Every structure is written in structure tokens, then in C-alpha cells.
Structure 1
Amino acid sequence: MQHLKEIRKRQGLSQEGMAMQIGVSISYYEKVEGGFKNPSFQFLVKLKKSFGEKVDLNKFF
């Protein structure tokens, strides 16, 4: 998922760091970013809470 990767890179985080930042498992995060799993609503809420206005949730749909 390109948008998620862009957010992570702008923050200067590894996949592990991003997963820890938003409170999800590393394996789940990797699957979402890799496009193998769709993000859950809870995932998107955690992402938005962590990064606020820097996240355009419309790009996930």
C-alpha cells in the first residue's frame, strides 16, 4: 500500500517502528503495507491518532 509506505518514510520509521508507533504487530503491519491484507478500521483509527492531519484516509479506499 503505497500511501502507507509514504507516511512511514516521511516519519523516518522502519516497518517495525511504524508498527510500534501505531500499536499493531509487525507482521500485521507488513501485510497491510505490502498489500496482502486490507487495513482494519481500528488500524486506520490508530494511524490517524498517531499522525493526525498528515494522513488522508481517503487514499485507503
Structure 2
Amino acid sequence: MNEQYLCSVADAARMLGVGRTKLYDMLAKGELLSMRIGTRRLVKVDSIKALIERATGGVA
């Protein structure tokens, strides 16, 4: 069970091919979900997958 549930903002931005500013904008709009652990903001990997599913109509 090596599935990753959370990733850093920088990693999420890299996965989506956007900058950190755009990623924070997407978080603010609720397009992606995140949580704080200490001072770190971590993005839910499932919300990245869901965003891609919504954008492509479920076609990978």
C-alpha cells in the first residue's frame, strides 16, 4: 500500500503543468482540495485526479 494521498503545492503544480500562483488560485476557488499539516499546505492527490476527470469528461 504505497499510494500517495497528499503532495506539496510545488509537486501538484508540476503534475498539472501550471505555476504555483495558478495552483493557489485553483485552491482558493475550490477546484482542488488541500490541508495544512504544521506550516505546510498539502494538496489531495485525489482532487488532482478528479480535476483531470472533470476536464476530460472521464477520458484519460
Which has more radius of gyration?
2
TM-score class, shorter:
0.3 to 0.5
Structure-1-length-normalised TM-score? 0.40
Structure-2-length-normalised TM-score? 0.41
The structure with the largest helix share of the pair is 1
